[in-house]
A and B are shown apart, each in its own frame.
Chain A
């Protein structure tokens, strides 16, 4: 195991991290109103536990999870519930959110108790992870306690922390690794205890040498934890590619990392777990990178869940030039927003304000069959053929070409010299294929 690990394929977009990689995380001003969506995770939305007029405390559970694949939602401020209404969310959906008027006191919920990893059993630790509403902070927001509950027939022997942060512009994980490596390691130890695993890796891209240093020093004090350097490439932080680069194992098509004995968590998730165990405080805030050419003061901010994008951007001095595009997340897989009145959720890693120039897209032209998309696809698919079939409506053919294996990283669309809508058409095909399977099932 050494440095410069990688996978076949991938692209090298400009990092664009210079604006914020050197900026310490600041506390974002806590707003007067927070809108906390009842679904900030993969799985069923929560049921509201409060109603308009209720007083709530900081860290109080306001949403009860439905079903196993779900996670509770907590208030990120103390105050009064104003309403429970449908609100736009950064993932493009509209769902119920609890609107709370902040009383500015930050009165904490009494049931939050600090704990110690050494004194808690694996089951108790997992319960804390669940009760604290921890979900994957890398963006997918999968309920973490579910990920840490593999079925007994899947033996896990490796835990990997994802410190790759391969998306351009984003530096939230970088700053976390530089400023708080202790929490990350603590959270990793919790994960290892829950899973009963003694072997862990922390993968960090080599464009973050300082983070490799801070994390390596922190990891030296622990047994069984190794920091590994990864060649900077997109999408090195994609779960399957990360596992392959570090262990050489390939997650089988249609399978999950647990099928090959691995569990992957974002470094932010690990830090959130540590915070929850140590202080008893559930997941109510996260680091967000605010960047892009249009924002006045790019920053890394610690933001309370439910703060609107508008409030976060105001805290960064607003914009000098009117942005043409607002992106939640990174530029490769992030979602363009139509309004600033969306809340920061557990999975919001970045808010990017693109200028007219940055947002400009070339016009699509004929596919010249150059094959660049084939050479960059990390799953070794053939995007040009997948896209051609999708655009013709031949979704069965797209299925035969394994459209469902696509991880939607966008490398193909990025590299295409003819600026063809490769990823977009492949995503359409995936949805159609899944819908057809449901109909035929």
Chain B
């Protein structure tokens, strides 16, 4: 007697999987990690590993405790851990990474239902919480080359210099320094070229679309050029500062917290751009990327609701289906 599997159609599936997508994101983030180690020393590698480790361990323990299937093999915790590390300043102590990871995984992700159910980007939300709780440590920038362990001098990020909030009168780094990453900033945001290489990989692998990053960066650029004080070149220079590249390509594009509709994605990109520009120009903070993305995250369900695509064969008047 033969036993055949009887299941619902379709009977074939594409090769794509959640874990493969997450792995692609990790791969895309590697160039930025290498650049960071080059500029800041091997200490940041330790931060990255601690962060990833804490994230994965937190997810494992939490799922075991909640008696749910353990899903650390989908690599989503690895991505969150790595992105959180990339959002910490280069001089951050290791325990900041641990707390951040635990908050991101346990509070922002699993309390709300786990993968796909978080309503804010976990790494960014955790970063915001850390910034509120440890404002000094979260803004202790170290310039490349300095010994992260012993340097007590806080230096400024280029945006802070521009805004005049810190290191008033200091020399702005050259565009080449900015592009390569030879500046102060968080671990993952500084090397624009490394991030762009990773972004190209993600676009080629079709993990991210062009809509959110392009509209985000374009809107920020246009508004900064129009409303800012540094003109066209200044606006262009500032694209590569303040984690905009990291945010636009890697954070705003997080699936669970961005719209699923094409129109919705453009709206999100524009919204993020507007908020980033406004915060940078008129707000109290020199950087606005994290908050812009978080604010657009919470509006995403609303955006999805109002940007439903036009159905094939949609009829204006109500027609009863037969």
Contacts and interface: CB of A to CB of B under 8 A. Distances in A.
A208 to B, nearest CB: 20
Interface stretch (B40-48, B146-154, B281-289, B306-314): B306-314
Interface string A359-396: 10110011111111011001111101000000000000
Interface stretch (A145-153, A174-182, A329-337): A329-337
Interface stretch (B9-17, B88-96, B225-233, B235-243): B9-17
B255 interface: yes
Interface in A382-441: 382, 384, 402, 404-405, 408, 410, 413-419, 421, 423-424, 427
Interface in B268-322: 308-315, 319-322
Contacts of A251: 313
Given A359-B5, A417-B17, A423-B8, A374 B260 contact: yes
B300 to A, nearest CB: 9
B319 A255 contact: yes
Given A253-B313, A255-B313, A368-B115, A417 B10 contact: no
Most chain A CB within 10 A, of B74, B311, B319, B320, is at B311
Contact of B311 (A7, A365, A379, A384): A379
B12 A369 contact: no
A337 B6 contact: yes
B21 interface: yes
How big is chain B's contact interface, by range?
Answer: 35 or more
B68 to A, nearest CB: 11
Nearest to B69: A365
Given A325-B5, A382-B308, A334 B11 contact: yes
A410 B9 CA distance: 7
A253 B14 contact: no
A168 B9 CA distance: 13
B4 interface: yes
B261 A324 contact: no
A369 B14 contact: no
A340 interface: yes
Contacts of A410: 9-10
Nearest to A254: B321
B40 to A, nearest CB: 32
24 contacts: A11-B14, A13-B14, A252-B314, A253-B319, A255-B315, A323-B4, A324-B4, A325-B5, A332-B9, A333-B9, A339-B4, A340-B2, A354-B11, A368-B76, A368-B116, A379-B311, A379-B312, A382-B309, A384-B260, A413-B13, A414-B12, A414-B13, A414-B14, A417-B17
Interface of A: 7, 11, 13, 168, 240, 244, 250-255, 322-327, 331-340, 352, 354, 358-359, 361-362, 365-372, 374-375, 378-382, 384, 402, 404-405, 408, 410, 413-419, 421, 423-424, 427
Given A369-B116, A404-B321, A424-B8, 19 more contacts: A7-B312, A254-B321, A324-B4, A324-B5, A325-B7, A331-B11, A332-B9, A334-B9, A358-B12, A365-B71, A366-B18, A366-B114, A368-B256, A378-B312, A379-B311, A380-B312, A413-B10, A415-B16, A417-B20
